[in-house]
Structure 1
């Protein structure tokens, strides 16, 4: 309950309700764990029973098993099977390529581009961001996270939004110096991205938004606004991005697809960079604030020795 700055322990509430109705504690716990599992992806996969049970409990606003935000340790809003991150905002496409001094590839006009990243370095709200010592130019990227609600294969844009569960905030932390080395290999980003993906603080279900293409977005660093805009001016629609992600493969509940960075939503476009200890806040209308603190560079990591030319 964001407006009350507290969270409800749904599993505990359901268990106690069942006990009052005559169930044993063991049986009620098993039932409550089935309806409210520890995995958000598993919960979303339950579909209507999960949502309906949560809404019934929330309607009663139980105080007995709620905790204020200040006492909560936040996990990532979802535990996706794979991270997908798109490139759809026209402003960022232009700004990014201008800073790297090369023209956008015409391929961006042919298909909705995205890359796949590891789900094992996903972090949540208030988490410290790991900073591998090989990174010198650290950046954030302000994005929406499209959370998938049901399994789908080879969807079409006209039915793709039926598979959208909700929206979260997605911060695609990026090493710009390593990205400049990796991308010319033409196999996609690896070490410049996979050290951390911020997802949180929670998921707002899609029915809570009046217009998915006019969601206000802002990023602040140490309290100073570095970028502000909204989710309009996309090269590809949300439905097209989801359909493309599912084409010839499978998307599953809890998967998160990054919208791509909002125009002006990265420090690269401002000729700025993050420093250790910086506090990065991403604010999205209808969702909330995802706040992370940059960690200290991790020293002593191995790095490959450059090879001699073979051509």
Structure 2
């Protein structure tokens, strides 16, 4: 089952709606409207049916996933029938990020990218990568969806993409173990960790993790495919194209840490909640840096993941006249 979020015009302006995605028919089904109609046909009053449909299919994917069985069962029932009513063609859809996570987490697990990245920056990988499944936390407030333009702060000179899977959490948990962590995985989406490589070179030696080199944009979409549709999480085909040209192609194998280990580590001593998205880390060859290339304004970046779909974004124009701090004099 494939589930997404779109924006529709409501009586009070734009509002988020959850949709069942039927890619083979190039349409989505508005889940709230479909459930409302179904309940009215079964005898519910329109007012009560609307209240129930609003509760089961809110505009927040995180809130819907947190509802658990009532949400998934209602969606599966509509998926079984796939009614034509309340359908919207892909051509008319305004996509929102597939999930609205409470926080963005992004891992570093693919051996090929770890090697390729460090070869390009001329430094060996830290041995600490072998000790724990490292990840960083980013802001959820700059998450963008399918077909959205990517904001480009003018301080960025070296813009890059990063092709990743997004692991969408299905249940609240803390201090999981790898053997039960996958029970808390709701589905897979595509995660594009846009990166300012020039800013990254300045920030990372500080030792506090990435900030302005990452938090300007994270692509999540186009939708979520529930985990039951994947036979092998380590053999998912992945590809990135820029302006129609393939720049990287591979799959989700050759990871230093398993999906279960990454999720368990993220939950260790803290809480993960429904709708949270954990980036898999970049596939080997899944960044322009590894190819000695970089993005330009107006470039169209497409990320294709087998079993999910294509996340497409266009790079915006650099935003001018932004403040940037003046370098301080040495104090040591």
Worse overlay, 1-10 or 289-298: 1-10
Partner of 2:151: 130
Partner of 1:262: 283
User: For 1:203-248, what per-residue CA distance to the aligned partner results, in whole angstroms no more than 9, with x for missing partners?
Assistant: 0011101110000000000000000000000000000000000000
Worse overlay, 135-144 or 39-48: 39-48
Partner of 1:171: 192
Q: C-alpha separation between the residues in 1 aligned to 2:294 and 2:142?
A: 21
Q: C-alpha separation between the residues in 2 aligned to 1:21 and 1:208?
A: 31
Partner of 1:8: 29
1:88 pairs with 102, 109, 112, which one? 109
1:49 pairs with 70, 76, 90, which one? 70
2:165 pairs with 144, 169, 175, which one? 144
Question: Is 1:285 aligned to 2:306, yes or no?
Answer: yes
2:215 pairs with 159, 183, 194, which one? 194
Partner of 2:231: 210
Shift of 1:47: 1.2
SS at match of 2:219: strand
Q: C-alpha separation between the residues in 1 aligned to 2:25 and 2:80?
A: 13
The runs of 5 or more residues in structure 1 that have no matched partner are: none
Q: C-alpha separation between the residues in 2 aligned to 1:14 and 1:256?
A: 27
Shift of 1:21: 2.6
Q: C-alpha separation between the residues in 2 aligned to 1:251 and 1:100?
A: 33
TM-score, structure 2 as length reference: 0.93
The runs of 5 or more residues in structure 2 that have no matched partner are: 1-21
Partner of 1:247: 268
Worse overlay, 58-67 or 251-260: 58-67
1:34 pairs with 52, 55, 77, which one? 55
Q: C-alpha separation between the residues in 2 aligned to 1:60 and 1:86?
A: 38
Question: Is 1:154 aligned to 2:178, yes or no?
Answer: no
Q: Which has the higher strand share?
A: 2
Partner of 1:182: 203
Q: C-alpha separation between the residues in 2 aligned to 1:18 and 1:128?
A: 38
SS at match of 2:37: helix
Q: What is the number of equivalent residue pairs in this alignment?
A: 311
SS at match of 1:277: coil
SS at match of 2:284: coil
SS at match of 2:52: helix
SS at match of 1:78: coil
Question: Is 1:98 aligned to 2:104, yes or no?
Answer: no
User: For 1:107-160, what per-residue CA distance to the aligned partner results, in whole angstroms no more than 9, with x for missing partners?
Assistant: 000000100000000000000000000000000000000000000100000100
Q: Which runs of 4+ in 1 moved over 4 A?
A: none
Partner of 2:250: 229
Q: C-alpha separation between the residues in 2 aligned to 1:287 and 1:22?
A: 36
SS at match of 1:58: helix
Partner of 1:299: 320
Partner of 2:99: 78
Q: C-alpha separation between the residues in 2 aligned to 1:55 and 1:21?
A: 18
Q: C-alpha separation between the residues in 1 aligned to 2:141 and 2:199?
A: 20
Worse overlay, 282-291 or 13-22: 13-22
- Computed over aligned residues only, the root mean square deviation of the Cα atoms, in angstroms, reads 0.6
Q: C-alpha separation between the residues in 1 aligned to 2:321 and 2:45?
A: 54
Partner of 1:310: 331
User: For 1:14-38, what per-residue CA distance to the aligned partner results, in whole angstroms no more than 9, with x for missing partners?
Assistant: 1112222332222111100111111
Partner of 1:121: 142
SS at match of 1:306: coil
Q: C-alpha separation between the residues in 2 aligned to 1:85 and 1:153?
A: 18
